[in-house]
Amino acid sequence: MKTGKIMRALLIGTSFICCLYSVQTLDVKTREVRIPQTGHWDDTLVYGPQLPCYYSNAISEYVRRIFQDSKGNLWFGTNSDGLAKYDGKGLAYINIREGLSGSQVTGILEDRNGNMWFSTNTGITRYDPSAKGQNIQIFTEQDGLSDPGVWSIFQDSKGTIWAGTFRGLCRFTGTHFEVFPIPKAEKSWIRAITEDSKGNLWFATADKGAYKFDGKTFQHLSKKNGLSSNDLTSIAEDHQGNLWFGSMDGGISKYNGKSFTHLVAGKEIGTNEVWTVYEDRNKVMWFSSEGFGVYRYLNGELTHFGEKQGLHIGAVQSIYQDREGRFWFGGGGGLILFDGNQLFTPVSKNGPWTMGC
């Protein structure tokens, strides 16, 4: 619980500083940044914003989320520079001044209709690329969110959009969001949402462990049931139906539906702070950690990739494999392209965007 509060304070502080450097108006009475609730992203806007300036040439100081949409565009959610989008031609940035709800992007989703959803530290932005007129809409507390800080966004197999905020779970009705209370976790920070192969929804919290929702009732899993920690960061289901949970202070828990096994610091991994659990298209599990790079888990064996192997970024928080099979690692220090074997390539604002370039 203390960790969650400290982290949130750091995140909000970072976001506030970033807002001061945007072209938006800061209301000195309410301390709120005024942003449009609706608007339009046209080709000039999406493809031509000025790139942020850094001491280094990294695409951002911190890359938090990575996603490839159905058109092949790569989206990178940053901790202070909004969105960076690569369309195969060049890199463009979208931030508060372009209508994004916040400069810190915490989640990226493409729904079944092709709309893009971006959760941020100050709300959610929905972008409809096919709309000719108004094509962006922002959702805040006024639109039903339980908190302006949204950490996770997910669409289930029935088409429902779910948002995990710093204070509970919300569900999209089609026009607005509504609070969807989780028993005994109504005000918990919802860090991750996923759906398993049986259609159950899973919610990872920062203080209460995990919750399974079968469409009617919730089942609670915590340290009392065998989880290594109640302070969870991520969830992923593997091809065998096992659920993997990353945590802030307990390493990794694997749940087979009946019991838990663990990977913890001092034995299998270098730290108990694990941000991402991810299964690639070859059915291999990957874990990202704070200060210790990433781990590949194959046939019961762990392979570590860190500074010595060429992974020269700090806390790795995002792992993503695109449709071409390339791996992208994002975290403190920017973005890394990985060939899946041993070649790590730092990605700057000018690329490279393919291996071997």
Q: 26: which 2 tokens?
A: 């800061």
How open is the CA angle 292-293-299, to the nearest 5 degrees? 105
Distance CA 23, CA 28 (A): 15
| DSSP three-state, residue 250 | coil
Give the per-residue pLDDT at 291: 85
Distance, in Å, from the CA atom of 162 to the CA atom of 130, rounded to the nearest integer, reads 23
pLDDT, mean over the chain: 86
- pLDDT beyond 90 at 127: yes
Q: Give the model's pLDDT for residue 35.
A: 38
Q: 145 is in which domain, residue-wise?
A: 2-347
State how many domains the chain has: 1
Q: Which helix (H) or strand (E) holds 289?
A: strand 285-289
From residue 284, how far is each of 198, 275, 299, 344 by CA, in Å?
21, 17, 8, 18
In a domain, 352, yes or no: no
Looking at the domain assignment, is residue 303 inside a domain? Answer: yes
Strands 168-172, 161-165: pairing kind: antiparallel
Q: How does pLDDT run across 162-206, given as a tens digit for each residue?
A: 999 999 999 999 999 999 999 999 999 999 999 999 999 999 999
Query: pLDDT tier at 355 (50, 70, 90 boundaries)?
Result: low
DSSP 295: E
Residues 2-6: what's their mean pLDDT? 32
Does residue 353 belong to any structural domain of this protein? no
What is the rounded distance in angstroms from the CA atom of residue 27 to the CA atom of residue 18?
A: 15
Peptide bond just before 36 cis, omega within 30 deg: no
Entry pTM: 0.85
In a domain, 167, yes or no: yes
Tens digit of pLDDT for each residue in 5-54?
Answer: 323 333 433 333 333 333 333 333 333 333 344 454 544 333 333 444 44
* Residue 204 falls inside a structural domain: yes
Average pLDDT over residues 232-245: 98
Assigned domain for 357 exists: no
The CATH number of whichever domain residue 245 belongs to comes to: 2.130.10.10
Q: Is 326 inside any structural domain?
A: yes
Q: For residue range 74-93, what is the model confidence (pLDDT) as tens digits?
A: 999 999 999 999 999 999 99
Residue 236 lies in a domain: yes
